[in-house]
Amino acid sequence: MPDKKQDLIDQNLQDLDDDGVDRRGFLKCMAWAGTGLVWTMSGGIPVSRAFAKNNDKNGNKNAGKGADFTFVQISDSHIGFNKPANPDVTATLQTAINKINAMPHKPDFIIHTGDLSQLSKPSEFDTLDQVLKGASAKQIYFVPGEHDMLSDNGEQFLQRYGKGTKGSGWYSFDQKGVHFVGLVNVANLKAGGMGSLGHEQLEWLEDDLRGRSASTPVVLFAHIPLWTVYPEWGWGTDDSEQALSYVKRFGSVTVLNGHIHQIMQKVEGKVSFHTAMSTAFPQPAPGTAPSAGPMKVPAEQLQQVLGITDVNYLVSGRSLAVVDSPLGAGTPATANAGSTGVM
Amino acid sequence: MNKNNVWIANVAAPVMIMVLLLFAGSRNVKAADQPAAANAEVKIDNFVFGPQTISVPAFKSKVRDTDEKFSYKFDKAGTYSYFCSVHPKMTGKVVVQ
């Protein structure tokens, strides 16, 4: 099995089109990602090893080493939630942080894609801060979820995590040539609607991206998915199409979202969409329950349906490898990495 | 007809948390940027009022956790649409007769 995988990976590395994008390998990898979900984590992150320049086929010690930087996405910590689906979300967040700290390569920063708290209470944000203080990565970027907007339209959130941001909390930053944009699609939610970015933010985004070279990898992150996952449950963003039209010209675009508490991925041209697991509780797959909401699973399975996302970026290949891994190990052995995708 | 114009609504939040936003009028306009509660504005352009329909919140409840309640006294007849601002797909209506 490892050999077969290595073949796939080697093919990926060699098959670049003129614009540096390995589309065939892309698709192969995405097909693999579908079955990748069945595999459980067993130490290390083999796929990132494949993207390392100095490939050591024996051990995992080079995992992430060849990457120019790595970061981790966590999401939906819902601090303050205490119902049966998970009576102790602080503990599972701590497990996620411990897992990040135990990674062989220390991530440069963490991105939290929202729903930090359950009810926007100061005590909940305080608890979150306490846990995050213990993370090895000191730089943490946030965008709010709808659960963080419940006191004075998000004032609490902005005061604590919104320094230097505009409007309801949007901003951008650069890291080793990659352009990151934090978007807010949970302000002013309308009855019966999905997420929305709003005119002002869209104008800002267009302006922010203007003039940047198309070879700049772009990462957009926001709480609610920026593509329509399941409109019946509000899992989408009404005006995301306009935002996506602004990034169409870029060679590599990665969209990281949360909100749905499960992994979903989609590739559309040069744009790859990815939603992360929650560190608090899972939600049902679209249409498999009367409504969205906390889903109770047997206690011993909880750690497997919660997780973090590790992203490795290679400057030379201009590619980002996104690797999801559950908090718990589940059944040992043959396995490797949760679901993976090459961007 | 022994009908009071006053009706007290007692809404219990069953399973999830809710922040209720009650709007006067029938349907909420899904316009790009809805004016904020206090000062809604209607403009005239080319002999047309715009937006055609505006919705102004009658109230906004504090966030309600599971089993918490929210009460509102309706003293004017009409149809009032409301929704949960955390879970926007949750909508309901109060008809005051």
- A233 to chain B, any CB pair closer than 8 A? The answer is yes
Q: Quick one: pLDDT at residue A263?
A: 95
Give residue A336's pLDDT.
32
- Predicted confidence (pLDDT) per residue in B13-49, tens digit: 444 455 555 544 333 333 333 334 457 889 999 999 9
Does residue B1 belong to the interface with chain A, where contact is any CB pair within 8 Å?
no
CB A157 within 8 A of CB A148: yes
Q: Is B91 in contact with A192 (Cβ distance < 8 A)?
A: yes
Residue B1 lies in a domain: no
A198 closest CB neighbour out of B17, B21, B33: B33
**Lookup result for tokens 């937006």:** B51
Contact A190, B30 (CB under 8 A): yes
Q: Do the chains contact at A191 and B16, CB–CB below 8 Å? A: no
Provide the residue ranges of all domains of chain A, joining segments of one domain with +: 2-342
Among B85, B90, B91, B94, pick the best mutation site for testing chain A contact (most A Cβ within 10 A): B85
Is A7:A27 a contact under the CB 8 Å cutoff?
no
The domain defined by A2-342 carries CATH number 3.60.21.10: yes
**Contact B88/A233, CB-based, under 8 Å?**
no
Q: Classify residue B81: in a domain, yes or no.
A: yes
pLDDT < 70 regions, chain A: 1-67, 315-319, 329-343
- Check CB contact of A296 with chain B, cutoff 8 Å: no
Q: Which of A83, A118, A189 lies at the smallest CB-CB distance from B85?
A: A189
State how far the alpha carbon of B77 is from the alpha carbons of A280, B8, B11, B29, in Å: 44, 12, 18, 21
Give the residue from B15, B21, B61, B63 with the most A CB atoms within 10 Å of its CB, the best one to mutate. B63
Q: A191, B19: Cβ pair inside 8 Å?
A: no
pLDDT of residue B18: 56
Residues 11-50 of B with CB under 8 A from A: 15-17, 19, 21, 23, 28, 30, 32-34
Q: Which residue type sits at B8?
A: I
3-state secondary structure of B31: coil
- DSSP state, B25? B
State residue B19's pLDDT score: 57
Name which of A83, A120, A234 is nearest B63 (Cβ-Cβ): A120
CB-CB neighbors (< 8 A) of B81 in chain A: 191
The 8-class DSSP code of residue B60 comes to: E
> Per residue, what are the HEC states of chain A?
CHHHHHHHHHHHHHCCCCCCCCHHHHHHHHHHHHHHCCCCCCCCCHHHHHCCCCCCCCCCCCCCCCCCEEEEEECCCCECCCCCCCCCHHHHHHHHHHHHHCCCCCCCEEEECCCCECCCCHHHHHHHHHHHHCCCCCCEEECCCHHHCCCHHHHHHHHHHCCCCECCCEEEEEECCEEEEECCCCCCCCCCCCECCCHHHHHHHHHHHCCCCCCCCEEEECCCCCCCCEHHHCECECCHHHHHHHHCCCCCEEEEECCCCCCEEEEECCEEEEECCCCCCCCCCCCCCCCCCCCCCCHHHHHHHCEEEEEEEECCCCEEEEEEEECCCCCCCCCCCCCEEEC
At A125, give phi and psi (nearest 5°).
Answer: -65, -40
The span from the CA of B12 to the CA of B18, in Å, is 9
- Report if residue B2 sits inside a domain: no
A151 vs B81: CB contact, 8 Å cut-off? no
**In angstroms, what CA-CA distances link A161 with A12, A164, A166?**
39, 9, 12
**Which of residues A66 and B6 earns the better pLDDT score?**
A66
What are the angstrom distances between the C-alpha of B88 and each of A189, A284, B16? Answer: 7, 18, 13
From chain B, pick out residues whose CB is under 8 angstroms from the CB of A150: 19, 63, 86
- Give the closest residue to B52 by CA, choosing from B36, B35, B34, B29: B29
Strand partners, A177: none
Number of domains in chain B: 1
A234–B contact, CB cutoff 8 A: yes
| Domain ranges, residue B76 | 7-96
**Residue of A189, A203, A235, A240 to mutate for B, most B C-beta atoms under 10 A:** A189
Residue B58: what pLDDT? 79
Distance set, CA A331 to CA A63, A194, A300, A334 (Å): 22, 37, 11, 9
Q: What is the pLDDT of residue A77?
A: 97
3-state SS assignment for residue B81: strand
Please check the confidence at residue B63 and state whether its pLDDT lies above 80.
Answer: yes
Q: What is the pLDDT of residue A11?
A: 45
Looking at residue A93, its amino acid is L
CATH code (residue B80): 2.60.40
Q: What is the pLDDT of residue A306?
A: 95
pTM summary value? 0.77
- ipTM comes to 0.71
